[in-house]
Structure 1
Amino acid sequence: MWLAFVILVGLNLRPFLTSSGTLARQVAQGLNMSLSSLAWLTLLPMMVMGLGAFCMPSLRRVLALRHVLITSLLLLCLGCVLRWFVPNGASLIATALICGLGVSLLQAGMPGLIKEQFPRHIAQVTGVYSATLMGGGALGAQITPWVSSLTDSWRIALAFWALPISVALWIAWKVVPREAPGANLSPPSLSLLARPRTWTLIVCFGLINGGYASLVTWLATFYQDRGWTAEASGSLVAVLSVAQAIAAFGLPTLAAKNKDRRMWVWLALACQFVGFLAFAYIPDMAPYLWAIIIGIGLGGCFSLLLLVALDHFPDAARAGTLSALMQGGGFPIAALFPMISVQLREMSNGFQAGWMLHAAMAVLVAIMAWSFQPARYAQKMSGDDSL
């Protein structure tokens, strides 16, 4: 049942983001919002995801894990339900904030929970969790335009995602044990923030997720500007997300054979580099191929960096804390990129500059990843080294 819980939670963490991206044009027209305003639907929840990661240890001192997880799912469900009734852009952005609050705590707790519940299969279950994250994004991108067409309402289509969240909530009620607040609590995290390696992980995680944030926000709009329908552009985002899901599971599974994950990280980053350059210069030549390539890069990097963070400590508590900090600092960095991309679009009359920026970020992360040498993890986290 724990594996079912991991899968269901993962599937429900991304549809609220990808669903609004595929209907960006309809939402903008219905609520009289600019594209810059729509960027807040991604920017704000991803900022909150970072705050949630930092707040998780403090919450665990006063609330049991069961209460944190169930409350988080309730917030996510509430945010989706409220989208049925939004009268203006500000209220829609408020629902994104509520969803982001729910996702932030769930996302911060899952890596440590995986290491605790599956100590002998960390790489595989991390891959499953990451794959379901991306798979949920694919479902959000593919199904939401269909629901919108079927019901003739983008509001109903956005609210639809409260249904699968309700199922995850029921599973959480059944599976997560009752325990005292603070049980199995990880140590205080402030000491890890003094380690340069923690900040290296934060920057890498933020930059690679910035590419994901920009794509789920603007890829559908990019191709709708080129004459595609909402359904067709949603299918493209779904293909990208499916490729992410396959890579998120497959690359950590392959990387489990040895402790040095760098070769696989570089492979994933190379896919990102090629994909973003293709979107920038030859977007119409083979858009589904470009989506698959870049999806492999994004999904592989996400799960591999989670795995690299967990590798730094042998015990679940400290490993989970480091992973939470990586997400806590990384998601606010990632949140900036949809806004940067749309500002570059307005300055240059296209998304090409934004795609090129993300290609450059892939190169930067590849350089930083050179320092992820397993033999030096203990030294890096002891504070005796600088990177």
Structure 2
Amino acid sequence: MATEETGTMTKAATVKRTDTAAGQEKQAPTRAWATRLITVGIVLAALNLRPAITSLGALLEEVRDGLGMSGTLAGLLTSVPPLCFAVFGVMAPRFARRFGPSAVVCVGMVAIAAGLVIRPFVGGTAGFLAATALALMGIAVSNVLMPVIVKRWFPDRVGSMTGLYSMALALGTSLAAALTVPVTDALGGRWQTGLAVWAVLAVVAVVPWIPLVRDRGTASAAPEHVSATVRQEDAGLRITHSRTAWALAVFFGLQATAAYITMGWMPQIFRDAGVPAGEAGVLLAVTMAMGVPLAFVIPRVAIRLPNQGPVVMVLGACGLTGYAGLYLAPAGGAWAWALLLGISNCAFPLALTMVGMRAKSSVGVAKLSAFAQSTGYLISIPGPLLVGVLYQHSGGWGLPIALMAGLMVPQIVVGTLAGRNRTVEEEVAAKAAKA
């Protein structure tokens, strides 16, 4: 009897193990398929996170003339992106908790496509601004959720995947800046067509996210729902109680300030120094193009270091050297300064990498990403405007360049603090224990 029972139990256990193995074999292709699909989705989404901005910059004069914008209103238009990133980025974690990160990114790509299609043809400045804000809303939520999705799907490859989408983001930025004018000319010379054509890339980016939202197997492989434990963790994580979160937010804001100043004013600095307009544009393209290879390399280096402070210092030193060159010999060493500032601007992928490293859970990454990016973009708003004011009132570039170099010093300091080997959850828990 005992033997029969033992045999029955053994048979049942064997059947159970077989069923489990079969289930694992069934889930493995689903998981592999979903991983490949989400990799494609991340790359396509990243390609769409800047063309709405840089394509407008390339045709800003034509847009101003076409819509009858004043110079002040056009200047305000250049400040809209960081403002929208700050306002809408705060909402991303809440949307992700309710609908899932994949669904939110999918809707974000739809919003980008819709905004890019609508804004050139809606008619009037108010409609143009509203459609631009719609596209920027999609960019803002996707900006915040990219580190969350990488942390969830690739916890053991945060550096390489952050590098991949940072590289794609830099590539999309450079392509839109370089190709918008030639594409506009090739399509008949109408600025409306030149702006709307970038919606095609956004429509393509929607496609891989659709099955990730609808497929239940994918959802079970990387659950989009939030358990009671995660909700409890989320409720208890007061991100503003973390010094690392504040340091990372300020670091993000200062590097964004440097990037917007570079994109907005560097060609004018070179032109005022006697560099031909065409060459000044090429120098800016070189600066932006540096982000393509380095955006892939820097996160992979940073993830291997327990402390990212040394990387922050190297990038900061390149920035300080570049600004010194712009002050002392802007035309004579123009190519060297463009390269150095291009390296310095790669603090952006470093900041994204640190967002993924400074939190333990997906919930922590979501809250840290939203806080650092929203606060950081708010910090970055006055920088380009202040440079313009100093340039106008001083009649030269001495004071603006001194401001740029001066801001690099606190960027190095807070970046070093943000790079320390600790997490926001540990800091919040330690502060709560003391209280």
TM-score (ref. length: structure 2): 0.79
Is 1:206 paired with 2:242? no
Which of 321, 327, 332 does residue 274 from structure 1 map onto? 321
Give the AA of the match of 1:172: W
- Shift of the 35–63 alpha-carbon distance from structure 1 to 2, 3 Å rule, reads same
| 1:366 to 1:374, Cα distance in 2 relative to 1, 3 A | closer
Contact 1:22 1:233 in 2 (8 A): no
Residues 5 and 57 of structure 1, relative CA distance in 2, 3 Å threshold? same
1:202–1:330 Cα contact (<8 Å) kept: yes
2:299 counterpart (234, 238, 252): 252
Tell me the equivalent position of 1:342: 388
Q: Partners of 1:104 and 1:92 in 2: how far apart? A: 18
Structure 2 letter corresponding to 1:70? C
Q: Residues 227 and 292 from structure 1, CA distance in 2 versus in 1: closer, same or farther, beyond 3 angstroms?
A: closer
- Contact 2:255–2:345 at 8 Å: present in 1 too? yes
Whether 1:311 aligns to 2:357 is yes
Instruction: Using the TM superposition, name which of 165-174 and 202-211 deviates more.
Output: 165-174
The code of the aligned residue for 1:217 comes to: G
1:281–1:371 distance in 2 versus 1, CA, 3 Å = same
Q: 1:70 to 1:311 in 2, by over 3 A?
A: closer
Q: Secondary structure at the match of 2:381?
A: helix
Q: CA deviation at 1:72?
A: 1.1
Larger Rg: 2
Q: Which one of the candidate residues 56, 60, 70 is aligned to 1:20?
A: 56
Q: CA shift at 1:280, angstroms?
A: 4.3
Question: What are the equivalent positions in structure 2 for 1:280-291 lying under 5 Å apart?
Answer: 280-291=327-338
Contact 1:66–1:177 (8 Å) recurs in 2: no
State which of 304, 312, 322 in structure 2 corresponds to 1:265. Answer: 312
In structure 2, relative to structure 1, the CA distance for the partners of 1:210 and 1:129 (3 Å cut) is same
Distance 1:61 1:309, change over 3 A: closer
TM-score under structure 1 normalisation? 0.88
Map of 2:202 onto structure 1: 165
- What letter corresponds to residue 245 of structure 1 in structure 2? V
Partner residue, 2:372: 326
Gap runs ≥5 in structure 2: 1-36
- Larger mean CA deviation between 176-185 and 115-124 belongs to 176-185
2:392 is aligned with 1:356: no
Task: Point out which structure has higher relative CO (alpha carbons under 8 A, 6+ apart).
Answer: 1
Using the alignment, how far apart are the partners of 2:47 and 2:236 within structure 1?
Answer: 28
Range with greater deviation from structure 2 (90-99 or 209-218): 90-99
Give me the whole-angstrom Cα distance separating, in 2, the residues matched to 1:78 and 1:375: 42
The 1:134/1:350 distance shift into structure 2, 3 A limit, reads farther
Q: SS of the counterpart of 2:284?
A: helix
Query: Residues 164-243 of structure 1 correspond to what in structure 2 (within 5 A)?
Result: 164-178=201-215, 182-183=225-226, 187-188=234-235, 191-220=238-267, 228-229=276-277, 233-243=280-290
**Residues 190 and 213 of structure 1, relative CA distance in 2, 3 Å threshold:** farther
- Shifted more, 283-292 versus 49-58: the winner is 283-292
The residue type paired with residue 178 of structure 2 is Q
Unpaired segments of 5 or more residues in structure 1?
Answer: none
Residue 137 (1) aligns with residue 184 (2): no
- AA in 2 matched with 1:12: N
Cα pair distance change 1:370/1:72, threshold 3 Å: closer
DSSP 3-state at the match of 1:197:
helix
- What is the deviation of 1:270? 1.6
**Whole-angstrom distance in 1 between the partners of 2:40 and 2:398:** 40
Query: How many Å apart are 1:88 and its aligned residue?
Result: 4.2
Summarize deviations over 1:81-100 as a string: whole Å, max 9, x none. Answer: 12322544444333331221
State the alpha-carbon separation in 1 of the partners of residues 148 and 119 from structure 2. Answer: 31
RMSD of aligned residue pairs (Cα, Å): 2.8
Deviates more, 1:319-328 or 1:5-14: 319-328
Counterpart CA distance in 2 for 1:129 and 1:175 is 18
- What are the equivalent positions in structure 2 for 1:81-160 lying under 5 Å apart? 81-85=117-121, 87-150=123-186, 151-160=188-197
1:152: Cα distance to partner?
1.6
C-alpha distance in structure 2 between counterparts of 1:126 and 1:134, whole Å? 12
